[in-house]
């Protein structure tokens, strides 16, 4: 019961390319007129066949009626906007296979719960994960190849490029390019085109191709910069292809060191760090920080030396410390948030420590992220 609008658009664009190329061929004198061109009428037949198929199978009707209400369409625009911002803010890339998880952690709206593995776009996924340099190099090769021209076999080359174009367009609407077997047909088309060019002098036009590449990259960069400048949060990243190491409001008044434990805060603790940065007007560091005005530790992530530190410490759902019980006055500036639903007696143990300020988290167990 599912269907792909992306595949339908790819087919329309590819056949439209054949149609335009056939008409252009007649206009430049290769044929005497459009109505006498076999390629022109063949392309008309193919386009009409696709349109008739779309209406008879219900694809056209479902596509038109579902665009406004279909979350698979509307969610893509929000995802793609964040993808350009992610590429701008982390130009080296987040690393292979991390685009979806990094989006959910550091860019997805806190009230949204959709899960993503990629950017649902082959090009954005590659850009966000690999960075601008690698993406720009691949884009230049694509543009340079596409602009190859030759006076011989022009019709066959146009048909082969149309097949490649369908593959390229389909990659816009999903991460299709990670499927190796989908590269077989466009790969064969590329090989045939290169074979036809052997022994000839095709016009590669490298300088104009380089200009087009920089133009596309410039547009994407400007859009990413614009989205980033409107974001109330500023993110800092690990050197190289790394993730976020701190998130801050535009004018932080304090520094908070967050020691996250996914068993307590859930896998998407980045959303909580962003909310903390906005609500507290702070710069939230993931991990220990010598500049911290407050340490917020969760679960098992609070080590023993932290307990004797003079920096104020909030410990969420802590375990029972090993060794001797805490003595009065041994811990300073410590506030413990314990789950109301006691698991393993940890909450009861902490409640018996008279020298520690205890705040119960009503109605929750170890997972306290939704009660944040």
Tens digit of pLDDT for each residue in 294-311?
A: 888 888 766 544 555 677
Most confident of 31-40, 288-297, 319-328, 340-349: 288-297
Residue 2 lies in a domain: no
Most confident of 37-46, 245-254, 297-306: 245-254
Q: Which domain holds residue 367?
A: 237-371
Supply the pLDDT for residue 37.
Answer: 63
Contact assessment for residue 334 and residue 357, using Cβ atoms and an 8 Å cutoff: yes
Contact assessment for residue 257 and residue 292, using Cβ atoms and an 8 Å cutoff: yes
- In whole angstroms, give the CA distance from residue 315 to residue 337: 6
* pLDDT > 70? residue 153: yes
State mean pLDDT over 246-275.
Answer: 90
Locate 119 and state its tokens.
Answer: 């950017």
Lowest mean pLDDT among 105-114, 245-254, 275-284: 105-114
**For 166-201, how does the pLDDT look when each residue is reduced to its tens digit (9 = 90+)?**
999 999 988 888 888 989 999 999 999 888 887 666
Lowest mean pLDDT among 110-124, 149-163, 257-271: 149-163
Locate 344 and state its tokens.
Answer: 């393993």
Residue 46 lies in a domain: no
HSE-CB at 94 with a 13 A cutoff on CA atoms is 30
Locate 124 and state its tokens.
Answer: 């954005």
Residue 351 lies in a domain: yes
Residue 366 lies in a domain: yes
Most confident of 48-57, 66-75, 295-304: 48-57
Residue 263 lies in a domain: yes
Q: Is the pTM above the cut of 0.85?
A: no
Number of domains in the chain: 1
Contact assessment for residue 105 and residue 268, using Cβ atoms and an 8 Å cutoff: yes
Lowest mean pLDDT among 9-18, 98-107, 323-332, 335-344: 323-332
Residue 69 lies in a domain: no
* pLDDT > 70? residue 330: no
């Amino acid at each position: 019961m599912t269907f792909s609008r992306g595949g339908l658009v790819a087919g329309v664009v590819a056949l439209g390319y054949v149609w335009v190329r056939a008409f252009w061929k007649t206009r430049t004198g290769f044929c005497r007129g459009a109505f006498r061109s076999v390629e022109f009428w063949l392309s008309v037949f193919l386009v009409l066949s696709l349109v008739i198929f779309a209406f008879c199978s219900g694809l056209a009707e479902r596509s038109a009626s579902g665009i406004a209400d279909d979350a698979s369409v509307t969610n893509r625009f929000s995802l793609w906007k964040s993808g350009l911002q992610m590429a701008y803010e982390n130009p080296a890339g987040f690393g292979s296979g991390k685009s979806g998880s990094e989006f959910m952690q550091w860019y997805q709206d806190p009230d949204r719960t959709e899960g993503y593995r990629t950017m649902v776009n082959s090009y954005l996924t590659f850009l966000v994960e690999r960075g601008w340099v690698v993406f720009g190099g691949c884009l230049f090769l694509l543009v340079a190849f596409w602009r190859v021209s030759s006076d011989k076999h022009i019709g066959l080359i146009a048909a082969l490029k149309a097949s490649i174009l369908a593959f390229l367009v389909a990659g816009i609407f999903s991460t299709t390019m990670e499927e190796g077997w989908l590269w077989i047909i466009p790969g064969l088309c590329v090989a045939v085109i290169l074979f036809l060019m052997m022994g000839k002098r095709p016009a590669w036009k490298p300088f104009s191709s380089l200009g087009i590449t920089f133009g596309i990259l410039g547009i994407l960069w400007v859009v990413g910069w614009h989205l980033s400048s409107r974001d109330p949060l500023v993110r800092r990243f690990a050197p190289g292809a790394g993730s976020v190491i701190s998130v801050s409001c535009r004018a932080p008044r304090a520094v908070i060191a967050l020691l996250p434990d996914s068993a307590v805060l859930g896998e998407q603790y980045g959303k909580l760090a962003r909310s903390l940065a906005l609500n507290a007007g702070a710069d939230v560091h993931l991990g220990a920080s010598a500049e911290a005005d407050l340490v917020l530790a969760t679960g098992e992530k609070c080590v023993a030396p932290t307990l004797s530190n003079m920096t104020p410490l909030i410990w969420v759902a802590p375990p029972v410390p090993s060794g001797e019980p805490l003595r009065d006055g041994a811990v300073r500036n410590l506030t413990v948030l314990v789950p109301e639903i006691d698991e393993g007696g940890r909450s009861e143990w902490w409640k018996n420590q008279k020298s520690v300020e205890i705040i119960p988290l009503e109605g929750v167990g170890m997972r306290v992220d939704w009660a944040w």
